[in-house]
């Protein structure tokens, strides 16, 4: 297996696939099993990929044959490493007292590590009423009982050994369906101010 960083040049030789020496070699054909040959340069037993991208990760195959024996085929797996890219980070509206979740999804190889911040302060696992749930490509910030204090902007940071990126996500207030509204007799639906509880 070969690990390569995105945008670098990758050069294969038949030696990468084990001993394929069959003198004289009549055909040395190296090809990607899925991608087309766009961007590939092949000269005899070598294959050069300029500016390799993450889409070119996968299995590559080398086949060698001559007039004496049957073709010999070897394969190698190529993994293209790249820094995190946040593909989804959307704000969410949640009523006070309800459960709310902010999600941050990032693509990266190696997998990204996630951290959450609010007002430049890192949120750690175990904070009262808040849980951070991390998976290889997804992080969730879960609020079990949303309060006014929880509303605001949060920052999701995704990082690996090749770099890091961040995105701002907002948790905002949302009125529950039907709350604060009533039907007036003979008239349209209109908003009615809520009565404040005595002692508050």
Ranges in the chain, pLDDT < 50 = 9, 11, 14, 16-38, 180-184, 186-200
The most distant pair of C-alpha atoms in the chain lies apart, rounded to whole Å, by 97
Residue 178, pLDDT score: 53
The neighbouring-strand residues paired with 166 are 157
Residue 110, pLDDT score: 94
Would you say residue 140 lies in a domain?
yes
Residue 191, pLDDT score: 44
Residue 65, pLDDT score: 75
The model's pLDDT over 126-149, given as tens digits with 9 standing for 90+, comes to 677 899 999 989 999 999 999 999
Would you say residue 77 lies in a domain?
yes
Residue 109, pLDDT score: 94
Residue 74, pLDDT score: 80
Residue 188, pLDDT score: 46
Residue 54: DSSP 8-state: G
Q: Do 110 and 168 reside in the same domain of the chain?
A: yes
Would you say residue 188 lies in a domain?
no
DSSP line for 71-102: -EEEEEEEEEEEEEEEEE---EEE-TTS-EEE
Residue 45, pLDDT score: 65
Judge whether 69 and 44 are in contact, CB under 8 Å.
Answer: no
Q: Torsion angle, CA of 54/59/65/71, rounded to 10 degrees? A: -170
Neighbours of 100 (CB within 10 A): 20
Q: Which of 29, 64, 82 is the last residue of a domain?
A: 82
Would you say residue 43 lies in a domain?
yes
Number of domain units in the chain: 2
Would you say residue 142 lies in a domain?
yes
CA count, 13 A, side-chain hemisphere, 76? 22
Would you say residue 199 lies in a domain?
no
The model's pLDDT over 112-130, given as tens digits with 9 standing for 90+, comes to 999 999 988 999 876 778 9
Neighbours of 91 (CB within 10 A): 12
**What does the H/E/C string look like for 140-160?**
EEEECCCCHHHCEEEEEEEEE
Domain of 48? 2-82
Upstream peptide bond of 110 is cis (omega within 30 degrees of 0): yes
């Amino acid at each position: 297996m070969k690990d390569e960083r995105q945008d670098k040049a990758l050069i294969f030789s038949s030696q990468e696939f084990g001993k394929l020496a069959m003198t004289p070699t009549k055909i040395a054909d190296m090809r990607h099993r899925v991608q087309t040959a766009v961007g590939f340069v092949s000269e005899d037993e070598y294959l050069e990929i300029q500016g390799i991208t993450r889409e070119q990760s996968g299995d590559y195959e080398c086949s060698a044959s001559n007039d004496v024996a049957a073709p010999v085929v070897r394969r190698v797996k190529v993994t293209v490493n790249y820094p995190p890219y946040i593909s989804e980070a959307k704000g969410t509206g949640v009523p006070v007292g309800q459960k709310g979740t902010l999600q941050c999804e990032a693509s990266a190889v190696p997998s990204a590590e996630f951290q959450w911040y609010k007002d430049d302060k890192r949120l750690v696992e175990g904070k009262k009423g808040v849980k951070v749930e991390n998976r290889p490509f997804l992080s969730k910030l879960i609020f079990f009982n949303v309060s006014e204090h929880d509303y605001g902007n949060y920052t999701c940071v995704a990082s690996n050994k090749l770099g890091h990126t961040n995105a701002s996500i907002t948790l905002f207030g949302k009125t529950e369906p039907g709350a604060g509204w009533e039907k007036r007799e003979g008239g349209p639906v209109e908003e009615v101010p809520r009565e404040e509880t005595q002692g508050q």
